[in-house]
Amino acid sequence: MTNKFRLRKYHFSMFVENTLKQGERRGCIEVICGSMFSGKTEELIRRLKRARIAKLNVEIFKPEVDSRYDESDVVSHDSNAIHSTAVPNSGAILLLADQVDVVGIDEVQFFDDELVNVCNSLANRGIRVICAGLDMDYSGKPFGVMPKLMAVAEFVTKVHAICVDCGHIANHSFRMVADEKLVMLGETDTYQALCRDCFRKKNRSKG
């Protein structure tokens, strides 16, 4: 076999938690993004629970705007809840995240742009910061602070929903009701997960 056709060895490394127990403490930013019903919060909770098993000090924050379900719990759609603190702005996280090893932040798309500096400051202190949120709004545009946060993060994981119309991988959150408000929380009666093609088709028929 010539050099030209020699198979290259690729090393795929699975996402492995930095347990912070071995050697020096290193901070980092992880972003979990995707559409509605993609399992972002479930993935955030999974990582935070594993950090707890590792006996790490975990704090979870979310914006006050998200008052679905319970005021003080990060709740995913499958009711796999974990306690959290609702904060009025990103600056509050910096003040409250004291003596912690891991900070989880849910619904990050609703935070102000200062969240990027907040996450960087936490990570620079040696804290593992795990953020979860919508990467696109209902019109398919990058959502708020999310793209900036993805740019500075060490790890970005995009999770997908399943298109309710065709069964393909879905990356869009289609709003079924006519409302121009960007911040609109809801469930299956308000949003649908759709793939690129079905999202375009439905938006065209909406006019």
Q: Which of 30, 43, 59, 107 is catalytic?
A: 107
C-beta of 148 vs 168, nearer to Zn ion: 168
CA angle 133, 135, 140 (to 5 degrees): 140
Name residue, tokens 């603190």: 85
Under the binding rule (CB under 5 A), the answer on residue 200 touching Zn ion is no
Taking CA atoms, 76 is separated from 89, 118, 167, 187, in Å, by 21, 24, 22, 11
In angstroms, give the least distance from the CB of 166 to Zn ion. Answer: 3
Our answer to whether residue 107 is catalytic in this structure is: yes
Number of chain positions touching Zn ion (CB under 5 A) = 6
CA angle 47, 133, 95 (to 5 degrees): 75
In angstroms, give the least distance from the CB of 79 to Zn ion. Answer: 27
19-27, 66-74, 138-146, 189-197 -> range binding Zn ion (CB under 5 A): 189-197
Return the residue of 160, 165, 169, 202 that touches Zn ion, per CB under 5 A: 165
Number of other residues whose CB lies within 10 A of the CB of residue 170: 26
Phi and psi torsions of 18, nearest 5°? -85, 110
Return the residue of 44, 163, 192, 193 that touches Zn ion, per CB under 5 A: 163
The residues binding Zn ion (CB under 5 A) are 163, 165-166, 168, 195, 198
